[in-house]
Amino acid sequence: MADSAPSLHTTPLHDAHEERGARMMAFGGFEMPVQYDSIIDEHLAVRNDAGLFDVSHMGEVLIQGDQALALVQHLVTNDAETLYDGRAMYTVMCTPDGGIIDDGIVYRRAEDEYLMVLNAANRERDLTWMHDHNPMGATLRDISADTALLALQGPKALDIAQPFLDDDLDDLSFYHFWERTGGAFLDCETALISRTGYTGEPGLELYVPADRARDVWTTLLEAGADRGLKPAGLGARDTLRLEAGLCLHGNDITEDITPYEARLGWLVKLDKGDFIGREALRQIHEHGPERKLVGFVATERGIPRHDDILQSAGGDAIGVVTSGTQSPLLDAGIGLGYVPNEPAYTEPGRALQVASRRRTFDVEVTEPPFHEDT
């Protein structure tokens, strides 16, 4: 008898999505909403007004104890010494060869406590990696099952959330966060309100107890109804992040790709002290990567897709598309992909081609992000 497919996890908002008629799909081991209405309408709502995403499939791990900072510094390429309570940073974890295991955000909650947020598809593997590379003995606590994560994104996002907070959200800077306890934010015993996102728009990411997710979701949607707020699915989240030129792990970054290739060299702090992958990354930094991630826009009809071939203007295969879509804002195909690290292929304005299964079309190298307001 054939083995049955593994069952999918669900988020605390699963029933709410089904009640709204969301189209559900498997993603990162979870059944998630890909869209409620149309992906384009949800995308444009976030660009023009606001959208609310359920991203509770993400993983959350607490790193605690007097060795918490030491472990964070050992695992990630960015410098956690620069953090202070209420400050967050984007970073990557790398293999000894410099390949990207995962990207995510680290929050400093206290001198001896950090929150690391992981991609859903990588959570179990990341946790194993963290446990296996913890010689200093810091405490690791996976709180993913008890935590819901909602992303309120768009130019009106802060105005929608403001009535539920006593402090002025204009005072909350990018990559900073507040923590509220005792029901101070929408009756949540604990809540972390972060000025972060994955859309290229202003917004908040809200970490709340799983058992409060439904009420927080409903309250925010009701509060934003007259401001154009829409629930948004993973389809719009992907087109938004691609317009913003943001990498997706598993597509644009993998264990076979280093930060310097992925235009993420700014996350690598070689002078902070030792960390996993430092020596390999030092050598790549010294000699330069052989390939580089570029953005491009189609100059004729055509939509680039993952694994399409990137060609020179003369038709020679030179690389591969890692992400692609039709941009709702530009009404043109856009994408990211890897090419040889040579000016002829990486300089903005250079002409390339995308060879898809159906046709070959012209594209122009463009510096991400792909729209001015990001």
Q: Which residues are annotated as a binding site for substrate?
A: 205
Residue 118's CB is within 10 A of a number of other CB atoms, namely: 25
User: d(Cα 126, Cα 261) in Å, to the nearest integer?
Assistant: 22
| Residue 364 amino acid letter | E
Closest CA to 361 of 323, 319, 309: 309
Torsion sign across C-alpha atoms 230, 170, 269, 129:
negative
User: d(Cα 124, Cα 142) in Å, to the nearest integer?
Assistant: 10
> Which residues are known binding-site members?
205
Residue 226's CB is within 10 A of a number of other CB atoms, namely: 8
User: d(Cα 231, Cα 37) in Å, to the nearest integer?
Assistant: 9
For the chain, helix (H) and strand (E) counts, in that order, are 9, 19
Confirm if 194 and 88 have CB atoms less than 8 A apart.
yes
